[in-house]
Amino acid sequence: MRASRGFTLIEVLVALAIVAIGMAAVLESLTSSANTTVYLQDKTFAGWVALNRIETVRLSGSVPQAGTSNDNVSYAGQSWEWQQKVTNTQIPGMVQIEVDVKPADSTAGDDRGWYASATGFMSNAIAPPTDPPPPPWSSNPIDTLPTSIPGQSGTTTTPTVSTPTQ
């Protein structure tokens, strides 16, 4: 008579423990992946809030005064806190605008926890030239190349282009 052999209780419990440890690792990996996805989504929205703030300042039409300001804004179903630092540059009439953004419910300190930063410039000192010179090219750029660069003194040689003859 043949004796049938099956798994003992100890073998079943060891296999169950191995499966449980494996499943815990898989669940931890999925949770970490989901948290990373949410964090990256929030960082993307924070970057958009920062860029929107800079464009709002630019579209106002007036150069802001140097200093720091902050406020909250609602974007993508979430409340965001932004901090704007305006500093003067070495060019008169031009300012640098730096905007930092984080979720409004963030518990990080004042200078920590910013999800995104954006920097822009605004000026009232830059304007198009009043009488722009005509472009230095013609309808056929190979035939007529400029002999000098506008605004530079000195002479340059004009390269020649030869056409093969038959």
Q: Two tokens at 109?
A: 């300190």
114 belongs to a structural domain: yes
> For residues 103 and 116, is the Cβ–Cβ distance under 8 A?
no
Q: Domain with 113 in it: what CATH number?
A: 3.30.1300.30
3 belongs to a structural domain: no
Q: How many domains does the chain have?
A: 1
- How many contiguous H segments (helices) and E segments (strands) does the chain have? 1, 4
Structure confidence at residue 105 (pLDDT): 87
157 belongs to a structural domain: no
Structure confidence at residue 110 (pLDDT): 59
Model confidence over 18-73: pLDDT tens digits? 999 999 999 999 999 999 999 999 999 999 999 999 999 999 989 999 999 999 99
Model confidence over 127-151: pLDDT tens digits? 665 666 666 665 555 555 555 555 5
Which range of residues forms the domain containing residue 44? 9-123
Structure confidence at residue 2 (pLDDT): 66
146 belongs to a structural domain: no
70 belongs to a structural domain: yes
> For residues 146 and 136, is the Cβ–Cβ distance under 8 A?
yes
156 belongs to a structural domain: no
